[in-house]
Amino acid sequence: MSSDLRRAAPIAGLVALLVAPGARADGPDAVASELFRQGRALIKQGKWDEGCPKLEASMKRFPAASTQLNLALCAEQEGKVATAWAMARRARVLNRETVGRSRREKLDDVAADIVARLDARLPRLRVNVVPEVEGTKVTGDGGELPLGVAVPLDPGPHALTISAPGRESAARSVTLKEGETLALEVSLPETTSVAPPPELAPEPDPPAPVPLPQPVAPTPAPEGGTPLWAWITGGGGLVFAGLSVGFAVDAAAIAADLEERCGDDLICDEDLSFDPEPDNRRKNVRTGLAIGFGAGGVIALTAAVVGLVVGVDQPSPLTSWVSPSGGGLGYRGAF
């Protein structure tokens, strides 16, 4: 145990004797009191590694000034001078809730003695940034440190990061010794990174070619063929010929029936119940129709034959009538 800790031992014993956890106005905590008792007993035996964790557990369950002062002695024993100094200051705040004026005064005297004793041993660090711009930050020991202020830190190595808007960040490592105040000046150069050139917009795709309308070649007129009228006329002639044959057959059948019933002279006096006049008229009508349709069929067929023979080397009249002059769908009338 160091000479400082030997001097601190009577104070630690005084803290243990003065106040144990539970002396606060809101009542004792049995678990916290037992942890405190065990921790103090271990520390008295020199077993700091076992006793200090029990004091920390007691402090979490029931914060008390006496427990905090004993934890300050634990931190000092580990060489964490600044941490012990801060704990002693915190104990003076907690002591305001201690029951009993006499106890409060004695604990406050103990805390003040610890603070005064450690104050001369505190390492301090002052960080200055050149140039100091708005938004400059110094981070280290898990938090942010103020600029231009000598802040107390525990002895030993410390890693710092200094940053500022528009400046390149800097990393520094310092090692502090007890009672030493170290001034660190950091210069942050302006950021020299070159901004990438603006990305040029890609060239637009060329417009798609507009297809031009394809001219439609006019349908060439046929070199020769049968006129359509010749086919129509020939078809009509065949129809007329068929009707003429039908009427002629019907008239012949009526005539044969009259001849069978009335004889060759077509006189039917023997059978007074039969009147041949209607059949005779029907026969005459059929005969006339057969002659008429037969004559029409002959004329139509004759015209069709003429068209077939004469119109072989002539363009079809229907072709000129249907074919478009400016393009489009054409139709040929020759077959």
pLDDT in tens, 18-61: 445 544 434 458 999 999 999 999 999 999 999 999 999 999 99
pLDDT at 54: 95
* Same-domain status, 150 and 96: no
CATH at residue 170:
2.60.40.1120
pLDDT at 311: 60
* Same-domain status, 73 and 148: no
pLDDT at 106: 94
- Count of the separate structural domains present in the chain: 3
* Same-domain status, 7 and 95: yes
Q: What is the mean pLDDT of residues 143-163?
A: 89
Amino acid, res. 191: T
**Within-domain flag for 31:** yes
Least confident window among 125-134, 222-231, 250-259: 222-231
> Which of these three, 167, 187, 207, is where a domain ends?
187
**Within-domain flag for 203:** no
* Same-domain status, 33 and 80: yes
**Within-domain flag for 218:** no
pLDDT at 85 over 90: yes
pLDDT at 179 over 70: yes
- The Cα 42–Cα 65 span in angstroms is 19
- The Cα 155–Cα 121 span in angstroms is 9
* Same-domain status, 140 and 238: no
pLDDT in tens, 284-302: 877 887 788 778 777 877 8
> Which of these three, 187, 218, 241, is where a domain ends?
187
| Mean pLDDT over each residue of the chain, to the nearest integer | 76
Q: Taking a C-beta distance cutoff of 8 angstroms, is the pair 176, 154 a contact?
A: yes
* Same-domain status, 263 and 304: yes
**Within-domain flag for 212:** no
**Within-domain flag for 295:** yes
> pTM for this structure?
0.52
- In this prediction, residue 124 has a pLDDT band, given cuts at 50, 70 and 90, of very high
* Same-domain status, 135 and 111: no
* Same-domain status, 75 and 26: yes
* Same-domain status, 7 and 100: yes
**Which residues constitute the domain of residue 83?**
3-119
pLDDT at 127 over 60: yes
**Within-domain flag for 219:** no
**Within-domain flag for 217:** no
pLDDT at 209 over 80: no
CATH at residue 54:
1.25.40.10
* Same-domain status, 37 and 104: yes
- In this prediction, residue 163 has a pLDDT band, given cuts at 50, 70 and 90, of confident
* Same-domain status, 23 and 41: yes
